[in-house]
Structure 1
Amino acid sequence: MRKEVLDKQKDLEKSNSEIVEKIEKLSKEQQKKFDLIQSKLDKIIETLKPEVSSKIEENKDSAILTAPVDSTQGFQKTEEMAPTFGKYFVLKHTFNNVSNFENNKYYSSEEEEHFGIIWKINVKRCDGFFSYFLFYLLLNNTEKNWEIEAELEPKLVSISSSGKKEKRRKKSSDFFQSDPMKSSWRCLKVIECDEFENDFLVDDCFCAEIAMKLKRMTGIYKENLRSFDETKEESSDVVLIVDDEKFFVSKLYLAHSPYFKNLFMGKFSESKKSEIKLSGIDADDFQKYLEVLYGEQAIDEFNVEGILIVANKYDSSLVIEKCENFLQKESKKTLKTKLQLSKRYNLDALRKQCLEEI
């Protein structure tokens, strides 16, 4: 009897030992998987940081490699150019092997899509001068006339052991149009090659950067799905004015937003007004925002971020959720772009989905 008990005890100890070994093995495997996922996540997050430039390509027939360059320290984040407000983005690319640039030949950054427009930076060495350009192209062809008013702040940046040096051009306004008589590029800076090489070329590389704020966009979006003009006056109980355009709407629909609910029902001077002026948003974005509130399937690749800007400004969780759902299930935007949007607009479900796809 005693022998049987001892044998059972030995078997139990052996079984426990095997279980511990399996757990340790499993833990090591899980740790390896975790480390691998963490490594991929770190790389993705690194690409989202504004101080790290993305991969640069030359023309179709050759390539220019890039390296990370911290060019945002000391960047002038004024109220007008604040990156957390409005249609703001920064194009930034680091060009390497500049000494191999051929005369009068363009070298291009990779294309980036922002608000339905394709943007890229081109640089060129030409007859003793170095220049760089902003190119733009509408994402899809349209028969409508479109126009963008933008504020630009271009600069060249170099970083060496002695510190950072930059050449910044003052902010300026520009117009981008569908007019076929106008070019689809802007020359932003011209500098003598000797000055460029002495002041900005470090280890045969430099960084070109353009901070942009799109102040007004017209004709970019698809046709409206619902009208909010004076023909809706009888069924409306308030008029909202955006960029001098009047929207005849119902307070009932807008009450989904805590902002508008307090505005209409709170003890504010505007609460008793029949017309209220809104600022800091585009009329086209507000049109699409209203369409979503009214139940229309208005969200697409062009307008999703514009709608998110309005929805975040007015804390409209219903619209934000619909935009996030579109980005998760229908959008063809790149993984990097989706991660950027999830970070900027706090879209946790989208961020989780993106990380699972890494």
Structure 2
Amino acid sequence: MSNNDNTADPGDVSQVDPTVKTPENLKEIDEIKQTLKRKFDEVSEKLQSIEASISKIPKIENDEKSIESTENEADSSKNSSNSIESTVSKAIQKSEKRFVLKNVFKDVENFEEGVSYITKFETHFNVDSSIHLKRSDGHLAFFVSIRGSENATEWSVETKVDLKIDGPNQKSQVLNFEHRYEKDEGWGFPEFLKWDEMKNEYLVDGNLTVEAHVEIIETSGIGKEKIRTFDESQKDVSDLVVSVRNTKFYVAKMFLAAQSSFFKALLLGNFAESKKSEITLTGIDPTDFHYFLEVLYGEWAMDESTVEGVALLADMYDAPTAIRRCESFLLNESKKSLKKKLQMATRYHLENLKKKCLEEIKTATDLRSVLPADLNDLDPKVMSELFKKSISFH
């Protein structure tokens, strides 16, 4: 099936539809508890297997320091140069805003014809999204639904999406699309897979595992009001233009370099960009970069809608001021869930936030609430801490 075959789902997923059945409505309370217990047991088993390797980390670090101390000045200079290049390279490699929606739909072969089965909406990078399945005319329909923020009138989210279902024996089906969402809708494939093929080759004990790998290319109209301008009106007080997709930002080169090791290496090092008056950054959202610059320039640009995008860039570009402000907001003001805070603390290396999140996990219920749908998303060190807590709960 080509990408030309993907369409919007005709249903308006932003409205409450009495025919819609979420997975939660199809479970009894005791079944939910059993599912959570199985997940808990699974992560405990995985944590035990990695504890030994984690305990070796300090020794490895000490060995590395010992080796480094024997290097001569020439080697140190070479390593320093390699480190600068590595800083820039790593930032470029991890720049995309990606996330995975994953769900195991139960009793799929008994899905009713034409009824939408929708997972709960999740918020990633200030974008609300969910998975949407339907049995339709002998096929499995598979969509990703995205909705705008409550007060937004004109908004858009440009995406690249891979839709995937997994079956036994490593069998899988993957289709992809690119779409710019500008209204609350589901977009994907009304004929993702023939129903009988799905039933015979992909179900495991009547259940279907589905994933949507989403990359956000650019957003507009979904964040807070911008405080500061970085457009051509700032040309007389800037000496560098940073181009992000179709947006140009006029900034001061030395100020940017002082705030970020990435930009210091890029603009003052041996890269070609150090001699240019205009540089291009790829793989990032211009809206996020605007809020990131506002934070660096001393504006209070932080709120629930901007903090994740700023944290991503602050970590990527190694900008300590922005990192501290993101962490301070998440520690003292944010109302995000414990699960989301722990996820961000792990992903963006916010150690104080990580410590506080782990301290707030005081019961088995708290522990289960922070487990991701995909246990592979857990950071090994966090898994070790969770394992220790799981022992204390017994």
TM-score, structure 2 normalization = 0.66
Residue 130 of structure 2 corresponds to residue 120 of structure 1: yes
Stretches of structure 2 lacking an aligned partner (at least 5 in a row): 1-19, 43-91, 362-394
CA drift at 1:83? 9.7
Within 5 A, what are the aligned runs for 1:35-54? none
State the distance in 1 between where 2:242 and 2:24 align: 53
Q: What's the counterpart of residue 237 of structure 1?
A: 239
CA drift at 1:213? 0.7
Q: What's the counterpart of residue 312 of structure 2?
A: 309
Q: Which amino acid counterpart does residue 177 of structure 2 have in structure 1? A: S
Relative to 1, partners in 2 of residues 1:266 and 1:166: Cα closer, same or farther, differing over 3 Å?
A: closer
RMSD: 2.6
Is the Cα–Cα contact under 8 Å of residues 134 and 188 in structure 1 kept in the other structure? no
Residue 177 of structure 2 corresponds to residue 172 of structure 1: yes
Is the Cα–Cα contact under 8 Å of residues 94 and 316 in structure 2 kept in the other structure? no
Q: Which amino acid counterpart does residue 271 of structure 1 have in structure 2? A: S
Relative to 1, partners in 2 of residues 1:157 and 1:192: Cα closer, same or farther, differing over 3 Å?
A: same
CA drift at 1:268? 3.9
Relative to 1, partners in 2 of residues 1:262 and 1:102: Cα closer, same or farther, differing over 3 Å?
A: closer
TM-score, structure 1 normalization = 0.72
Which residue of 281, 286, 296 maps to 2:284? 281
State the distance in 1 between where 2:247 and 2:314 align: 19
State the distance in 2 between where 1:173 and 1:154 align: 11
Is the Cα–Cα contact under 8 Å of residues 311 and 320 in structure 1 kept in the other structure? yes
Residue 297 of structure 2 corresponds to residue 334 of structure 1: no
Q: What's the counterpart of residue 25 of structure 2?
A: 62
CA drift at 1:84? 4.6
Q: Which amino acid counterpart does residue 197 of structure 1 have in structure 2? A: K
Q: What's the counterpart of residue 187 of structure 1?
A: 188
CA drift at 1:127? 4.5
Summarize deviations over 1:82-119 as a string: whole Å, max 9, x none.
99541101111001122443332222212211121211
Aligned residue pair count:
282
Is the Cα–Cα contact under 8 Å of residues 116 and 138 in structure 1 kept in the other structure? no
Residue 183 of structure 2 corresponds to residue 196 of structure 1: no
Structure having the larger proportion of residues in helix: 2
Residue 102 of structure 2 corresponds to residue 92 of structure 1: yes
Which residue of 162, 185, 197 maps to 1:153? 162
Q: What's the counterpart of residue 12 of structure 1?
A: none
Counterpart of 2:171 in 1: which secondary structure? strand
Q: Which amino acid counterpart does residue 148 of structure 1 have in structure 2? A: V
State the distance in 2 between where 1:239 and 1:83 align: 22
Q: What percent of counterpart residues are identical? A: 39
Summarize deviations over 1:31-63 as a string: whole Å, max 9, x none.
xxxxxxxxxxxxxxxxxxxxxxxxxx9439932
Summarize deviations over 1:192-223 as a string: whole Å, max 9, x none.
32212101112110111111111122222222
State the distance in 2 between where 1:109 and 1:136 align: 12
Is the Cα–Cα contact under 8 Å of residues 83 and 89 in structure 1 kept in the other structure? no
Counterpart of 1:234 in 2: which secondary structure? helix
Counterpart of 2:236 in 1: which secondary structure? coil
Q: What's the counterpart of residue 42 of structure 1?
A: none
Structure number with higher relative contact order (C-alpha < 8 Å, ≥ 6 residues apart): 2
Q: What's the counterpart of residue 260 of structure 1?
A: 263
Q: Which amino acid counterpart does residue 324 of structure 2 have in structure 1? A: E
Summarize deviations over 1:293-329 as a string: whole Å, max 9, x none.
0111101222212112221221101101111111122
Relative to 1, partners in 2 of residues 1:323 and 1:105: Cα closer, same or farther, differing over 3 Å?
A: same
Counterpart of 1:220 in 2: which secondary structure? coil
